[in-house]
Copies of this chain bind each other. A is one copy, B any other.
Amino acid sequence: MALVYDPPTQRQTMSGPTDRNDLEVLSLAQCLSLLRSRPLGRLAYVEAGEPVVIPVNHTVDGSTVVLRTVVGGKLDAALVGQPVAFQLDDHDPSRGTGWSVLVQGRAELLEDDDRIARYEDELDSWAIEHGHEAAWIRIVADEVSGRRLRRSS
């Protein structure tokens, strides 16, 4: 139903398959590559039936998105086992181009100290500088999808 979830049509362009909105459908490999290209994305979850979106630091391990939040405890506990989404995009209005990748899955608390130490090295220091204890969440992906908009020629 939604923009980013229309199945690819048979129409092909030089760039790959497109959906019914003429957006290029990105492959899983392309999506994962793009997810790794930025240090900060957005976590979406549902609270009392309403969607909430907050910026989070992240890294990618295989097809799993790993998030470090600056909050401790409460948010993380509420998310465990819940459906969540992680979204990342970029756009260039002057060129009429852009892309968006969406990961949908369930949130798990990450408590493996060795893994956390490794992820810590990979992550940008955006939040750590602020001196807060980090809380770690892993999103085990059920679906990874992405679209790219190119200026029509």
Contact = CB atoms under 8 A, between A and B. Distances in A.
A149 interface: yes
Contact of A39 (B5, B49, B93, B124): B93
A67 to B, nearest CB: 12
Q: How many copies are assembled?
A: 2
A102 B54 contact: yes
Chain A interface residue bracket vs B = 35 or more
Interface stretch (A9-17, A58-66, A112-120, A128-136): A128-136
A100 B132 CA distance: 18
A2 B54 contact: yes
Interface in A28-75: 39-40, 42, 44-47, 49-55, 69-71, 74-75
Given A3-B69, A50-B85, A51-B53, 18 more contacts: A1-B74, A2-B45, A2-B71, A3-B70, A4-B54, A21-B71, A23-B70, A39-B93, A40-B91, A40-B93, A42-B42, A45-B51, A53-B85, A70-B149, A93-B124, A129-B151, A129-B152, A130-B149
